[in-house]
């Protein structure tokens, strides 16, 4: 569990998908994670802001989340959806954040 949540990218994906009710376009996820990481509004983001996030998510973080059942990523349609373990991981992240805030 801690390995899954070890990076900010994966934590942000978990937070974003936990708030959703279905699938997200990959590019929407890229924009959302980039905005959360940079503190910028989505409308203020440039392509150069998004590109590092896009590469990191596509090649590293989403595959790890897919392998652990946290998300489902359809490369052909470019969509990301909650996986069967998202709820458990999101609850764990929330518990750690509450503990850390205390």
In whole angstroms, give the CA distance from residue 28 to residue 33: 9
Alpha helices in 20-61 (DSSP H): 26-38, 47-56
What is the model's pLDDT at position 2? 77
3 state SS of 98: helix
What is the model's pLDDT at position 8? 92
What is the model's pLDDT at position 9? 94
Mean pLDDT by 10 residues, the chain (102 residues): 87 89 92 93 94 97 96 96 94 80 73
pTM exceeds cut of 0.85: yes
What is the model's pLDDT at position 27? 96
What is the model's pLDDT at position 94? 84
Give which of 47, 75, 59 is closest to 9, Cα–Cα. Answer: 59
């Amino acid at each position: 569990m801690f390995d899954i949540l070890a990076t900010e990218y994966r934590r942000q994906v978990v937070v974003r998908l936990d708030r959703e009710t279905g699938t997200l376009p990959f590019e929407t996820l890229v924009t959302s994670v980039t905005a959360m990481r940079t503190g910028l509004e989505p409308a203020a983001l440039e392509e150069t802001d998004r590109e590092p996030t896009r590469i990191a998510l596509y090649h590293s973080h989403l595959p790890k989340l897919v392998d652990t059942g946290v998300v489902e990523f359809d490369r052909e349609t470019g969509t990301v959806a909650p996986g069967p373990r998202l709820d458990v991981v999101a609850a764990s992240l929330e518990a750690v954040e509450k503990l850390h805030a205390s």
